[in-house]
Amino acid sequence: MSSLQYFSAKYIVEDSTHLHKDSVLIVEGDLIQDIVHIESLPEKKPENFNELGEVIISPGFTNAHSHVALNSVKGLGYGGASALYDVMWGIEPALDDDLVYKLSLLGMMDAISSGTTSINDHYFFADSVAKACERIGIRGFIGHTIMTEYGPWTGNEQISLAKSFNNNWKNSKTVHPIVAPHETSTVSPKVLKELSNYALENNLLTHIHLAQTQKEMEYIKTNFETSPIKHAYNLGILNEKVIAAHCNVVEDGDLELLAESKAFPVFCPTTHGIAGKPMNTNLLSELNVDWGIGTDCSGGNDDYDMLEEMRTALVLNNSVAKKDFIKPKEVFRKASEENVKRISGGAFSGKLSKNQKADFITVLINTPRMLPLHDVVNNIVMCASSKEINDVYIDGKCVLKNSKFQQIDEQAVLEDGMDALNKIFVKTGFDKKILEGDFL
């Protein structure tokens, strides 16, 4: 049997600037082989020919900053309690391997349903997140969170776990390990430097939270008399292989140093917008920094929907832009190309061109949200919702077909996920706190 698969569609978005009409995407194994016009194929269609009809085939999206297992506190981050310190951190001591696996699958279902083919995820029990990636079929750039202060799990054991995680998964096709120190105020300078050296020696990327809260700024000011970004810069841990989530609590000169370091800052528009502190994307663009986009997690943003995040990024950026408004195609390019290019260290382009990974989605056209369709990419960004995401292919394998998951039993994952949530809420007392109105 041929390893070639053919997918015909009304439109194929090769990348943010190349569109093919009435064409066929040819996939060989896990790679794109070609895009050809339908008329160039013989009348007798080849084996494995999938006539998809009135859809757009598009590159899938990459979420540049997520914690897919941290989805248990939806709706609780909008009251008087701190979304990060009281809500998110409040439930984490109750986690274990099994709970993180079950909750990861829930978060991944949300991500895939809204067109995401890769996540860059930072969390405790990373081995469970990685196993969930393999189970459901999503590409995961996964890091085991390391904290030396405050965290529910700290100490040398966590560093050893992170290193063995990297060794165990380095040959996986689906999971790509990343080094994941938590943040500048929760990891000691000694360990930040040790992890940075380890990442460089092992040709791994580093994924860190940087300059994300006022509390972090105050801690670094008190202890090191500088800002989090300057502290990281002074330690020598910022470089082009660093993914820096947030970078939104800054002082003068911080973003210039970040630009000089070539680290990749990730804007989490919903989280930042709700907290009233958006990353200064306009200044970063002026400094020629090609910033990325991520969702973060529940508590600050209650879903993993990159369609929503692209639109919010566009709106927040342009709402304070003095010049050079960005356009829908620009956030599409970031979500489909720049995110995965940076997170893979240049290994993946996110384009549907020859020899690139066959990570793609199909978007329905004939729906009230999508019609009329004058500009395909603009409509994906400005109109499409998860209802329009019909199929998802990752590494050439079908993960979602006609909105149905192919590698998991959706109902069983939902039920296991709810059981996991209930266990966590009882263990942490969140069940009582919610009833008593602690999060209002």
Q: Which residues bind Zn ion (CB under 5 A)?
A: 296
Is the peptide bond preceding residue 372 cis, with omega within 30 degrees of 0? Answer: yes
CB 67 within 8 A of CB 207: no
Angstrom distance (rounded) from CA 389 to CA 56: 10
* Residue 146 β-bridge partners: 181
Q: Which two tokens stand for residue 158?
A: 């966590």
* Of 296 and 416, CB closest to Zn ion: 296
* Of 296 and 309, CB closest to Zn ion: 296
Angstrom distance (rounded) from CA 151 to CA 121: 17
* Of 296 and 302, CB closest to Zn ion: 296
Q: Which residue is nearest to Zn ion (CB)?
A: 296
Q: State the nearest-atom distance from the C-beta of 65 to Zn ion, in Å.
A: 6
* Of 74 and 190, CB closest to Zn ion: 74
Q: State the nearest-atom distance from the C-beta of 296 to Zn ion, in Å.
A: 5
Task: Tell me which residue of 326, 357, 351 sits closest to 336, measured CA to CA.
Answer: 351
Q: State the nearest-atom distance from the C-beta of 271 to Zn ion, in Å.
A: 8
Angstrom distance (rounded) from CA 153 to CA 345: 29
Q: Which two tokens stand for residue 197?
A: 């050296």
Q: State the nearest-atom distance from the C-beta of 126 to Zn ion, in Å.
A: 14
Q: State the nearest-atom distance from the C-beta of 356 to Zn ion, in Å.
A: 28
* Of 132 and 244, CB closest to Zn ion: 244
Give CA separation, 415 vs 103, 105, 266, 404, 411, in Å: 11, 11, 33, 16, 6
Angstrom distance (rounded) from CA 173 to CA 168: 12
CB 221 within 8 A of CB 185: no
Q: State the nearest-atom distance from the C-beta of 21 to Zn ion, in Å.
A: 40
* Of 296 and 388, CB closest to Zn ion: 296
